[in-house]
Amino acid sequence: MSGIEASAQQVVDSLSDGVVLADAAGAVTAVNLVAARWLGVDAAGAVGRPLAEVLGLQDHDGKDWCSVNCPYDGLPTRTAVPEQAWILPDGTEVLVVARIHRPALSEPVSHVAVSLRSGRGRARLDRERSDLVATVAHELRSPLTGVKGFVQALLNRWDQLSDDQKKLMLTTVSADSDRLSRLIAELLDVARIDTGRLQLYPRPSDAAVLVRRVVESVAAGTSRPVELTVAEGLPEITVDPDKFTQVITNLVENAVRHGEGTVRVAVTHDGAGVRVRVEDEGEGISPELRRRVFTKFWTGGGRGSGLGLYLVNGLVRAHGGTVAIGDAAGGGARIDVELPATVD
């Protein structure tokens, strides 16, 4: 092996994915260590053997990769084989993709590069999708059951119900409908954050006014005391008012739902920016769990979709701010949202 070939082998051996290279005649020219281990072959001994022989991959019907994909045949414009799931000799699933190289469209294939990647990433993605489906189904079921039950009662017993009973049922239906709308909005925002397509419509805003509206709204729907403190002379912040309101609503409702005692909200100065602090008097969040709080589906053993704090983190960062978790003075959890002031 020449110095150049040895250097090239070191490069492919350093990759985390498996790599198999073959020449114009379909003979293997290189196999990195990962591919050799997965395929159960000797890397050096595989060189010169037919690609179909070294690439011991089969689908669920027992067909091999080369006979299914025919990398040396087909249209001259063909440049790749898309990612597919294949089975290794030991029964493990891997994801396989290939590049087909030609000097020109009028010339035959010069070499083929096959890449093998562990299927664990796709398995994790499948689990996340299953978790999402289960979460959505669970969260939608409760308000939908309430809406259906009250509407059915109104239809069946309209003449037997008093005006106060009808008003109570319709109020409950309206509240459950709002809950459904918020959940759908959360799911859409999660998808937009994950795909980098979140759209913001920022403008200079008064943080104190927006936070006060949230606190008054949440306090009206709970028996728990919710206190608000606002510092004087706060600068404006440039935020999307709807998304900022969503962030504060999630934090305050989360403190009411999972904490204990009084929920305290404070809007103060943070250097040249603004800090919104939400505290409760519950058990708090242990330091080893604080990194997990902002991941999808984290509920801390409680109820809920597990998307609220994930959204908080994503929306705040999209505004150029930060979120931090600490211990409240009363022993509960403290969450700080810090956002830069509007620049003239």
- Domains: count for the chain: 3
Mean pLDDT of 141-149: 84
- Phi and psi at 112, nearest 5°, equal -125, 135
Q: How far apart are CA 53 and CA 16, in angstroms?
A: 23
Token code pair at residue 77: 């414009």
In DSSP terms, 263 is beta-bridged to 226
Domain boundaries, position 328: 203-339
CATH code, domain carrying 173: 1.10.287.130
Q: Are strands 111-118 and 273-279 parallel, antiparallel or unpaired?
A: unpaired
With a cut of 60, say whether residue 301 has pLDDT above it.
Answer: no
Instruction: Estimate the crossing angle of helix 163-195 against helix 120-157, to 10 degrees.
Output: 160
Question: Which residues are within 8 A (CB) of 47 and not within 5 positions of it... i.e. 6 or more apart?
Answer: 28, 29, 30, 31
Strand ranges in 52-92 using DSSP code E only, listed in sequence order = 80-87
Same domain, 188 and 273: no
With a cut of 90, say whether residue 97 has pLDDT above it.
Answer: yes
Same domain, 77 and 170: no
> pLDDT higher for 138 or 104?
104
Which of 163, 195, 227 is at the close of a domain?
195
Same domain, 213 and 328: yes
With a cut of 70, say whether residue 25 has pLDDT above it.
Answer: yes
Which of 93, 118, 143 is at the close of a domain?
118
Same domain, 182 and 265: no
Q: How far apart are CA 113 and CA 28, in angstroms?
A: 10
Same domain, 319 and 211: yes
Q: Per-residue DSSP letters for 208-267?
A: HHHHHHHHHHHHHT-SS-EEEEE-SSPPPEEE-HHHHHHHHHHHHHHHHHH--S-EEEEE
CATH code, domain carrying 215: 3.30.565.10
Is the distance from CB of 324 to CB of 335 less than 8 angstroms?
A: yes
Mean pLDDT of 35-47: 92
Same domain, 80 and 173: no
Same domain, 309 and 258: yes
Percent of residues, the chain, with pLDDT higher than 90? 44
Mean pLDDT of 190-203: 85
pLDDT for 123 equals 62
